[in-house]
Each structure stands twice: as structure tokens, then as C-alpha cells.
Amino acid sequence: MGTIKLLTELPGPNSQALVARREAATPRGASKLTPIAIEQASGAVLTDVDGNVLIDLAGGIGVLAVGHCPPTVVNAIHDQVEKLIHLCAIVGTYESYVRVAELMNEVTPGDFAKKTVLLNSGAEALESCVKISRSYTGRSAIVVFEGAYHGRTNMTLSMTSKYGLFKKGFGPFAPEIYRLPFPNLYRRPAGMSEEEYIDDCIARLENAFIAQVDPSAVAAIVIEPVQGEGGFIPTPLRFLQRIRELCDEHGIVMVCDEVQCGFGRTGRLFAVEHYGIVPDLIATAKSIAAGMPLAAVTGKAEIMDGPHPGGLGGTYSGNPLACVAAIEAINMIRQPEFLQRAQQVGDRIREYLLALQAEVPLIGDVRGLGAMVLMELVTDPETKTPAAQETLEVTLEALKRGVICIRAGLYSNGIRFLPPLNISDDELDEALAVIGEAVRVVGAKLQTPV
Ligand SMILES: Cc1ncc(COP(=O)(O)O)c(C=O)c1O
């Protein structure tokens, strides 16, 4: 007996009715990736408003490392809600706020004195990284990379790369942002080896400090150790190492955006730990609090103390309900068995997709780190032409069969897997079989065009 149980076609009538109300009441800009309305969820399993049971491979876009509604988090929120829902950390102090900051200082990489500021969202964390770096260095320039995603506020949108989907019509953007090439090994120039390509990207990075901006004007280099929205591209080791060196050489703050790749997703608590590199600041959000809105910036105490009193934070930053959820989530994720399981989940997904790739030429690349795995779809493995329409169709075919998965990538032609990391083997195998079916159906259409 499988997990998926479909009582209606998807979307069912109740989903359709609720989604119609959503469309009437909310702007199209706040769009949705599926037409399904959900009633409740547990672990990796969703029940929709028609009683259909689905498997979730999107995990709230990487928010649910510990799964939907884990009992310890639910209990902690229940207990807290009766004691203190809100105080505002600008007004006073409560223990859970302090504890989350202490925990973050303890679990992030770096054997030095650290401090943590709590915030509401990933974008706010990245925006705060910019403020902290500028305040500490007295410089204004920020270096970011092609394919990067850092958020939707004006500053972070300026730092974000993919134009059409995220930025169109929203300019002017913030000044003093310098965007440099990012080594996407799958799309390197034909005839260039991986090592030559990484050398080339490093040379362009170095050249940018002559051609675009003087390093003495750069406050921060901001990088995702594994690009998320950009298509689950792990930064090549030598490239990240060179960034660390350049930061050290020129007094630039190295910021790692671990909003999507952090908190166990890659099989380590933080993705940058795979590299043996320690950033100066680390931005976290998403899985930090099991779905409660919370984000953090953690880093060298001296840098974190750059901004003046009152320069950081906000009304809801570090809300008590979010903080008690974070304490439980962090303590779950940091356990070696949890991280080991994340790696196993990733290995299982990767193994399945690589076998599928050998069978279906629609899959051009399978990549990622740990359980952060993506398959990139192309109309032809030789030309690597992005198969954006087919990618959308695969997600719809999967949904029809009871599996939620979502896209990513600069060309919108990747399907990314961000399941709750406590998904069972049976649930994962069942969901992957559905993905396989969806890929085969769409791949067959491509082979025999009508
Ligand atoms: C790497 C990265 N940084 C920042 C953000 C922005 O986070 P939020 O949506 O919480 O503002 C995201 C969101 O997907 C992200 O993936």
C-alpha cells in the first residue's frame, strides 16, 4: 500500500474553488507553482482540501528539513503561545531569543567569538549582511554572482540575478552591486575542461577588481555555497577558496548565503562545511525554524558589532513562537543521525535520477550536494538547449499523480528536490517512481513530436 491516495482528479473541486478565490483576492504577482490547496500535513505527506493524499518533494521550498509539523516543534509552539506571543526584542528580552542566538553562535563554522542577529526572512538577513558589511568596512560595493538569488526586497533584488522572473519592471535597482560570472560547470564553453573553466572564472573574478571595482571599495562578496534558485550548482572548491583569499587580502567581508543550502540540506549542517572554508558572516533562514518565519545573520563578533545600536532588527524579528520552534529544529538537525539521513536521502534521489537519465535523454544533468539535488532538462543532450516547457509539464504530470515538485534554474528548466529530510524510504521511492513516470511521459512526447 502506497502513501499517495487520490480521491479526485488533481486539482479536485475544493482546491479549484479555493484557488479561484485566491486568484480573485490576491494579485497575480504573488503567484503559485501548483493549483492545489492543502488542509494539513505531517512529515512529507500532504492532505489536500478534497481529501487527496500527496507526497511533498518541495518542502515549502526548502523550509521543512524537519518535515511538516514535527511533534516537538508543535508542542514547543503550543507551550509558548500561552505564555508570550510577542514582546518585540527592541522592547525587552526573553530567553528563547537569547538561546537561538547562542545556538547559532555555537553551531555555525568558525572558531572565533560570534554574534547573531535575528530577522524575519532570508531577504532581510541578506539585506542585513549588506548593512553590517558596509558599516564595518566603511565601504559600499557588494560583489555578487550570475545565477544568484538573494531575495525580493529592493536591495536583495538588486543582488539577485534572474531578470525576467524576478526583476522585470521593478527598477531602478540599488547601486554599487557588481555581478561576476559564476562557474556553472554543466554550461561551460564547449571544448574547455572543468579545471580550465574554473581557472577562467577565477581570472575573470580577479580581473573584475581591475576592470569593474577596486577591491578597497568592496564591502562584501556574497555567495551561495550551493546556488539554489540558480539551479542547485555547487560552487567549485577552488573558486570559493579564491574568494576567501581575496577577502582576506583586501579586508572584504565574505558572506555565505545559506538560506536554501543550510540546515542539513547538503548532509552537513551548513554547506560551506563541505569546503573547509569559514565565512565571516553566514545568512540563514528557511529550515531554521521548521516553517515559522525566522532568519539570522551570524558572524565574527567584531564585524557584527559594526552597526550602531538601533541599526539592526525590527518589530517581529526573533518572535517568541519562531524562536522556540527554531530551538527544537536546530537541535534536531544538528544531530549526526539526522545529517546522515539527509545524505542517504540525497544518495537515493541521485541514484534514481542517474538511472533515469541513462534511459531518457530529456535529462541533461543531475547535480547538487547531499540532499540538494536537481535534474536539468534539455531538448537535446548535445546542444543542451533548455527544455523549460517540458520541465513545467513534468511538474504537472507529477502533480496529477500525487507528487509535488517545483522548478529552479536560470532557464527554468530544472526540477529541484527539497523533500523533508525525515521522508521515509518508501515515501521517497514512491514519489521518485512518479517523477520517473512523469519524465518518461514528457520525454516520449519530445521524441515523437505531433
Ligand atoms: C539563497 C537564498 N537567499 C535568500 C532567499 C530569500 O529568502 P526569503 O524568501 O525568506 O526572503 C532565498 C529564498 O528562496 C534563497 O534561496
Q: Which atom of ligand 1 is nearest to the CA of 124?
A: 11
Among protein residues, the one with the nearest Cα to ligand 1's atom 3 is 150
pLDDT of residue 446: 83
Neighbouring CB atoms inside 10 A of 138's CB total: 8
Q: What are phi and psi of 349, to 5 degrees?
A: -65, -50
Kindly state if the Cβ of 231 falls inside 6 Å of ligand 1: no
Cell numbers describing residue 244: 576567501
Question: Would the CA dihedral through 35, 286, 166, 403 be positive or negative?
Answer: negative
Ligand 1 centre from 7 Cα, in Å?
A: 35
pLDDT of residue 449: 57
Q: Which atom of ligand 1 is nearest to the CA of 260?
A: 16
What distance, in Å, lies between the first and last C-alpha atoms of the chain?
Answer: 37
Kindly state if the Cβ of 416 falls inside 6 Å of ligand 1: no
Q: Say what angle helices 320-333 and 95-107 make with each other, to 10 degrees.
A: 30
Q: Which atom of ligand 1 is nearest to the CA of 126?
A: 4
Cell numbers describing residue 414: 530544472
Closest residue by Cα to residue 10 from 28, 37, 33, 30: 37
Amino acid in the structure at residue 347: D
- Strands 226-227 and 233-234 turn out to be antiparallel
Q: How far apart are CA 285 and CA 42, in angstroms?
A: 21
Ligand 1, pocket-test mutation among 259, 266, 288, 294, most atoms within 8 A of CB? 259
The residue behind cell 520552534 is 325
Ligand 1 centre from 283 Cα, in Å?
A: 10
With left for phi above 0 and alpha for psi between -120 and 50, is residue 110 left, alpha or beta? left
**Distance from chain centroid for Cα 317:** 20
Neighbouring CB atoms inside 10 A of 414's CB total: 26
CB-CB contact of 212 with 179 (8 Å)? no
Kindly state if the Cβ of 158 falls inside 6 Å of ligand 1: no
Kindly state if the Cβ of 253 falls inside 6 Å of ligand 1: no
Ligand 1 centre from 147 Cα, in Å?
A: 13
Among protein residues, the one with the nearest Cα to ligand 1's atom 4 is 150
pLDDT of residue 1: 80
Kindly state if the Cβ of 258 falls inside 6 Å of ligand 1: no
Kindly state if the Cβ of 287 falls inside 6 Å of ligand 1: no
Ligand 1 centre from 123 Cα, in Å?
A: 6
Kindly state if the Cβ of 127 falls inside 6 Å of ligand 1: no
Ligand 1 centre from 234 Cα, in Å?
A: 16
Q: Say what angle helices 425-447 and 388-400 make with each other, to 10 degrees.
A: 130
Contacts of 448 (CB under 8 A, 6+ apart): none
Ligand 1 centre from 391 Cα, in Å?
A: 22
Ligand 1, pocket-test mutation among 31, 149, 157, 159, most atoms within 8 A of CB? 149
Q: Which atom of ligand 1 is nearest to the CA of 148?
A: 1
Domains of the chain (ranges; CATH) run 13-56+336-447 (3.90.1150.10), 72-333 (3.40.640.10)
Q: Which atom of ligand 1 is nearest to the CA of 153?
A: 11
Q: How far apart are CA 102 and CA 125, in angstroms?
A: 17
The residue behind cell 514528457 is 442
CA 149 vs CA 156, 174, 259, 320, 409: distances in Å = 8, 15, 10, 28, 10
Among protein residues, the one with the nearest Cα to ligand 1's atom 7 is 122
Contacts of 419 (CB under 8 A, 6+ apart): 44, 55, 56, 57, 58, 59, 345, 349, 371, 428, 431
| Per-residue pLDDT tens listing for the chain (450 residues) | 899 999 999 999 999 999 999 999 999 999 999 999 999 999 999 999 999 999 999 999 999 999 999 999 999 999 999 999 999 999 999 999 999 999 999 999 999 999 999 999 999 999 999 999 999 999 999 999 999 999 999 999 999 999 999 999 999 999 999 999 999 999 999 999 999 999 999 999 999 999 999 999 999 999 999 999 999 999 999 999 999 999 999 999 999 999 999 999 999 999 999 999 999 999 999 999 999 999 999 999 999 999 999 999 999 999 999 999 999 999 999 999 999 999 999 999 999 999 999 999 999 999 999 999 999 999 999 999 999 999 999 999 999 999 999 999 999 999 999 999 999 999 999 999 999 999 999 999 987 655
Q: How far apart are CA 115 and CA 105, in angstroms?
A: 6
- Strands 45-48 and 253-257 turn out to be unpaired
pLDDT of residue 65: 98
Ligand 1 centre from 259 Cα, in Å?
A: 6
Kindly state if the Cβ of 265 falls inside 6 Å of ligand 1: no
Q: What are phi and psi of 297, to 5 degrees?
A: -120, 125
